[in-house]
Chain A
Amino acid sequence: MRRAGLVIAIPRGALFGQTLDLLDRLEVPTQEIRSNERRLVFEEAGVLTVRPSDVPTYVEHGAADLGITGKDVLLEQSEREVYELLDLGYGHCRMIVASRGDSDPLGAPLRRRGAVRVATKYPRIAADHFAATGRQAEIVEVKGSVELAPITGLADAIVDLTATGRTLAENGLVEREPIVESTARLIANPVAHKLKAAEIDRVVARIRELS
């Protein structure tokens, strides 16, 4: 990216491997990035490696011109002013409502308490989903291991991402409702999108050719 005059923020996490493969195909040197787990800035390549949920922050504030992160992150941070340029097609997963397999978790609490308690790492997506379907939900935000919430009685249900459904099954949870599908997206800072238009368009065109 440095050679193209751009800086890109990429997510360390589930999308990391396939994102590096994409950079390889764009002829951005990734060897250093692959061999350095602790380094965060790779100036010679024009790459920053950050938490997936921090990618929109770095891009919105112009620390990076471009970024790659999941659609789930963009939906959860919908106030971020960034361009969403491309669906990169990889990192497919689904945002779903899940609950324990042994009960009717949404019906009973809704009938008897008027609200369902939902644990999630995605409070905005969860709140929007229940509001859009006309149900009251108490959203309990947790930072990790959401599957624990219904088992321990912290919540009636969870809203979370699932790719294969394995973690859900291992914790005795069943998918109840799909909310939205997510894949990796290429995003851009709005000012860079104007002032570095040619450079950004070249990257977008090259990715389109590759896919």
Chain B
Amino acid sequence: MIHPVPPGTRDVLPEEMRELRELTLRMHAVFDRGGYGEVWTPALEYEEVLRRGDEDAAGAGFKVLDDRGQVLALRSDATIPIARLVANRYAGVAEPLRLCYFAHAYRAVERGSGQAREFLQGGVELIGIGGAQGDAEVIAVVVDALSEAGLRRHRVGLGDGMLYRTLLATVDVPEADWLPLLESLWRRDLVGLAGQVDRLGVGAAARELLVTLPTLRGGPDILDRVDGSLSVAVENLRECHELLTERGVADHVIFDLGLLRELGYYTGTIFEVYDPAVAFALGGGGRYDELLGRFGDPRPACGAGLDVQRVHVAQLEEERLGNGDGQ
């Protein structure tokens, strides 16, 4: 007789577990060398706490009532719980905090999509260092952790979650008209976006910018294609590029001016991590300068999370390719 497990969850047997353990140890070694101390937070949080961080509770899909009628939610990401932890346990600490974690997160998925409801995330949070300095450090740690894990061809797609909004403001699109355009971008529907831009009735130059900006991705030269008042908006990305070059990881970075991420707490730089062996992003992150202030002392912060099982898939493929003759 077979006793089922909930769809989207699974058991891990020793052979795979040995590899996953080895992988997380390697990633952790890089985090540790960077000064990132490992923390645990509860898998269950008060739903109210998650909502304080993100009005959608970061998409938490599983909720239970406890014995006192309080709503508890299984965490759907690690960043909001860590923001809560920092507010509670490090109030008044002025120097930068470097924290890392390996933790399961939970989300509701579309029935029959085969996506995981429970997934293991490993990541870092850098609190107290603002701007490109902080962004570049986090990106470099992610790139190094993946290299240490045996990946060779991984790339970080780097963008700015506020860039399209800045563009909309720059070309005087009334704020009431923003939502449908941003929704098209979230859906990755560039055909729909072009249609909506046409309906705005803006000038030809503005139209061109609104339609092409989200398709600009590639080397640092694409930053030069953004000029005028928008140039200021990509200044931070330019600075990131310089710092990443100094850290020797700029080759792993793709600039992506159309990048958007779903979570509501990002305030600027955002990124996603890719490997050609996996058709989905391995993870991502970004800057969330307002999140800490929702729980306690306002502090700038930036973080990244990686889906350990997807990293494992990329690692296996790298192994199959014979490790080293990648790009």
Contact = CB atoms under 8 A, between A and B. Distances in A.
**A and B associate:** yes
Given A194-B256, A197-B218, A201-B215, A83 B280 contact: no
A76 interface: no
Contact of B110 (A79, A87, A185, A192): A79
Given A189-B279, A191-B279, A194-B157, A87 B274 contact: no
Contacts of A195: 155, 254, 274, 276
B218 to A, nearest CB: 5
B133 to A, nearest CB: 25
A190 interface: yes
Given A78-B187, A194-B155, A194-B256, 4 more contacts: A60-B279, A62-B279, A190-B281, A191-B276
21 contacts: A62-B278, A62-B279, A78-B187, A79-B110, A79-B113, A81-B280, A82-B188, A83-B190, A84-B188, A84-B190, A85-B191, A86-B191, A191-B274, A191-B280, A191-B281, A194-B155, A194-B217, A194-B272, A195-B155, A195-B254, A197-B218
Contacts of A201: 215
Nearest to A59: B279
B191 A87 contact: yes
A148 interface: no
Contacts of A63: 279
A90 to B, nearest CB: 14
Interface residue tally on A, bucketed by range: 20 to 34
Contact of B192 (A84, A190, A192): A84
A40 interface: no
Interface residues of B, number: 22
Which of B190, B254, B256, B278 is most buried by chain A, counting CB atoms within 10 A of its CB? B190
- The SS class assigned to the A binding surface is mixed
B198 interface: no
A86 B188 CA distance: 12
Interface of A: 60-63, 78-79, 81-87, 185, 189-195, 197-198, 201
A87 B191 CA distance: 6
Contacts of B215: 201
A63 B218 CA distance: 23
A190 B188 contact: yes
A43 B148 CA distance: 34
B47 to A, nearest CB: 24
Nearest to A62: B279
B19 interface: no
Contacts of B281: 190-191
Contacts of A60: 279
Interface string B263-299: 0000000001010101111000000000000000000
B189 interface: yes
Contacts of B280: 62, 81, 190-191
A206 B187 CA distance: 24
Which of A61, A84, A191 is most buried by chain B, counting CB atoms within 10 A of its CB? A191
A189 B217 CA distance: 15
Contacts of A193: 217
A137 B187 CA distance: 27
A84 B276 contact: no
